Amino acid sequence: MKRYRFCFLGFGNVGRALVRLFVAKSSELRDNYGIEWEITGVATRRMGWRASGEAIDVASLLAGTDQTDTHNNINEWLTHAKPDVVFETTSLNPETGQPAIEYLRASLQSGAHTITANKAPIVYAYDELNEIAKAQGKHFFFESTVLDSAPVFSLFRETLPAVKIRGFSGVFNSTTNIILETMEAGRSFAEGVKAAQELGVAETDPGHDVDGWDSVMKVCAVSRVILRTPLMPSAVRREGIRALEPRMLQAARAEGKPYKLLTRATVNADGSVTASVRPEQIGVNDPLGNVRGTSLAIHFELDTIPGLTVVSHRPNLQSTAYGLLADFLNAVK
């Protein structure tokens, strides 16, 4: 039986869902994997750098009544908490990936397996962070960054050796799906945003979603890790959904070719990658044509397989949390 010490960088909806999932899976982890766990550190802007040499009470942590001592910075926090595994779920910064990159670097250098749901560090610092992990004999995993828990990175890492990707396309953003479908029903953009927020898929400020930044970061992450080709966000042709109007969307749906915010990437003859994120009409017979609601999908074109589509049907917070839990199990197995 192995007992792992967990730390959480960020403790919003996803972090809390992950803790609840670990609680629900505790017996299964113990009986099937020989794993027990405890939380020794949590850090957020509101809570500060809370760390303990002993296990933090989970119920108090989830209830917001925990009074664990706080520290001054991430290095003190890591020194006191002594984590075996760090889960990072801080906010996306599409311009630089900071401060998440700094946090992940410190976590890996401390000797912890490090698992993130944050896309930006993959785009801006994957090579560096992966090399630190290798030097420490640890893993740096990030399955939840693209399709919540559906396998994308692990699919190629574990099960598809010696394939060449010619390109891929995806529906990467739940918020825009909900907004477009709400407007197809004759309602306004603002009503679509509200519907997405009520479902829990949109932030208070949905700008990163509706302006295409979330999808841009995802295509850059897939390019960097799976295609092994750096692709910066500034090189992606980006167009959000703000210019679309209900009448346009209704006509497109009646035509059988509704609009979706589509991400496309093509591997060029010289190995470079050309990518775009923009609204496109798409037929229902397309591999991505029936991706609706909060569902997400990616379709790969491969040299040995004409088409391979991965769909995450109606993912939720637990789905995202499961991606982090699966990464943990794959890191320590």
Other Cβ atoms less than 10 A from the Cβ of 255: the count is 10
Q: How far apart are CA 236 and CA 211, in angstroms?
A: 13
Check residue 203 and give its pLDDT: 84
Check residue 200 and give its pLDDT: 83
Find the domain containing 300 and state its range: 158-312
Q: How far apart are CA 94 and CA 273, in angstroms?
A: 19
> What is the domain count for the chain?
2
Return the structure tokens found at 13: 């909806």
The CATH number given to whatever domain includes residue 72 is 3.40.50.720
Check residue 126 and give its pLDDT: 98
Residues 165 and 181 in one domain: yes
Calculate the CA 35 to chain-centre distance. 25
Q: Are 135 and 170 in contact (CB under 8 A)?
A: no
The CATH number given to whatever domain includes residue 214 is 3.30.360.10
pTM, two decimal places: 0.95
Residues 80 and 173 in one domain: no
Q: Are 211 and 165 in contact (CB under 8 A)?
A: no
Check residue 299 and give its pLDDT: 98
Check residue 234 and give its pLDDT: 96
Q: At residue 73, what are phi and psi to the nearest 5 degrees? A: -160, 175
Residues 226 and 240 in one domain: yes
Residues 308 and 321 in one domain: no
Residues 324 and 215 in one domain: no
Check residue 202 and give its pLDDT: 87
Collect the ranges in the chain with pLDDT lower than 50. none
Check residue 164 and give its pLDDT: 95
Residues 116 and 225 in one domain: no
Q: How far apart are CA 77 and CA 50, in angstroms?
A: 7
Residues 205 and 263 in one domain: yes
Residues 55 and 174 in one domain: no
Residues 116 and 172 in one domain: no
Q: Are 49 and 77 in contact (CB under 8 A)?
A: yes
Check residue 312 and give its pLDDT: 95
Residues 307 and 323 in one domain: no
Return the structure tokens found at 84: 């075996």
Residues 179 and 233 in one domain: yes
Residues 43 and 60 in one domain: yes
Check residue 284 and give its pLDDT: 87
- For the stretch 243-275, pLDDT in tens is 999 999 999 999 999 999 999 999 999 999 999
Q: How far apart are CA 188 and CA 271, in angstroms?
A: 42
